[in-house]
Chains A and B, each alone.
Chain A
Amino acid sequence: MINLVQNVVDGISVGSLYALTALGIGLIFGVMRLINVAHGELITAMGYTMLLFASQSVVVAMIGGMIAVVLLALVTERVAFRPLRSADPATLLVASFAVSFFLQKSIALVIGYRPKGINILPSLGQQVVVFGVRLQLLKMATIAVVAVMLILLTWFLKRTRFGLEMRAAAENFRMAQLLGIRGNRVIAMAFALSAILAAAVAVLFISQSGFLTPRMGLQLVVIAFVGTVIGGLGSLVGAAAGGFFVGATTVFLQAVLPPDLRQLREAFVYLVVILVLLLRPQGLFPASGLKERV
């Protein structure tokens, strides 16, 4: 029974992390129809920047890292993606792969592929006892942080003027321009927002894993991306739900499958995505106003 509760918490925690990652991808896809593979490198960059700030306080490191990652996102948007704004989806996808690989290899060039240890927020590593069950504080913190960020993001999108403009641009970019919404500004804002989400994911992830590799962002993003496809690329709710589903499922399968099949749990997720693409390509939670789909 205790094991079950721990697994459930674990599942929700991992699911939340992937949901947040997926949201970052979904935001960009919404306004630009671009699958930003390079989102992973934002996560990786945040991790390594925090390593740079390791001697400072954690708060300083987080702020410094966040600024760096937002800048990185804005630069990639301006340099690589804005010129391609009217290109076809295949070109955009290839471009985002190229950006992702360039950033990843550049980081590896400077730092190397060997994992580097990092220890942030060690105070969260302890365990607490809730209703008689031992739970990791870190996992609870992850769930809490993601929940808060979801609420903030929802508030931003539904209640602020910028959020309104972003939603309009996501639904119909050209029409939004015809109403005077500055397309460039909205897209830049989306990138900046996604960078903040990536930064949060990075902090939560490396607190749990304890080490950095140049590939860590990509690995997270690939799974999260599959989640957004399952959930529905066009809607943020779909992206978050899909990311959550994928994360939670991997934990669930880990707990449930016999040992020799456990490693295959990710393959299962990929099978699901193929099924979704075949049977319900708009995803399990498609956007209501969505006309274009994958």
Chain B
Amino acid sequence: MDGNEPENEMAGGEAEKDAAPSFSVPAPSTPSLASLGGGQNPPNGEDRRQAVESGAAAKPRPISRRKLLEAIGAVGIGVGLGFRVLEDPSAASPARQRAAAPRSTKDPLPQWTMIFDLRYCDGCKACTAACQSAHYLPKDTEWIKVYTLTSADGGTYHLPKPCMMCEDPPCQAVCPVGATFRTDEGMVLIDQNVCIGCRTCMAACPYESRYLNTSPMPEVPRQPFPTSPEWPVPQVVDTVGKCIWCAARLPSGMLPECATSCQMGVIYIGDLTTDVAVNGQGNVITISEFLRDNDAVRLKEELGTNPRVYYIPGHGQDLSGWA
């Protein structure tokens, strides 16, 4: 009976505030309900008030039929359509939601990539600070780490290094419990509810991109989103964490924390499918042309990990195969 009512009330709505609604109500056992339902009483305001007042429980404030119908109608709409949100368990995970509803049913999934234009990096480490602050990391956990290195001509240059999001990630292959996984968009993420803290992934990563969380962990205020591999805040103690390219932001087109904080516009985030990349300063490039024109390289190419991070050297430094 209750199931029928909302549908009918949706159709009827407020226009029928005085007409006899068609929901089925048993023969009114009390004069009060009879005035709200059935078509058995005259829709007379005076009579209705009298009937209500003469009801079994004489309450001071009457409730009108209109109000009830409105409430039921709103509930019906809300419940009926709200299930579309509530029943989707991946509502909490932006990456999975994105995968479930791509821009167009014909388009392939985005394949994220990052480009570092080292011509402009001055080693200020704003990226490191912003990342640590956004994810509430301890001081010595630098998910994006800026190295200061000597180039062939004796000068120094700076190299920020996030997680490489390898296409053949050694960390994923060696994790004994499969806590590290790679999504179809190319993001390598960690489920810290599974991680046993064996640090084999730290042994495997040739880029030293992974960090174990040990106590004391920084105090983390209550987060607006539940903890997930795409938004791993707060980090779980005694498990391994790493840069995740702010995976929770990418599906809605927001840039990772490091990219937005870089004042020099060094850090580009892009999509290999659409061939478009932007940096935090509003520059937009076509990835394939940008990489080709600027002789981009990847780190430790010879290891066969196929990283998704490209570097534009620009100072003549040799980025291939050092250390």
Physical interaction between A and B = no
Enumerate chain A interface residues (CB-CB to B < 8 A).
Answer: none
Give the interface of B toward A (CB within 8 A): none
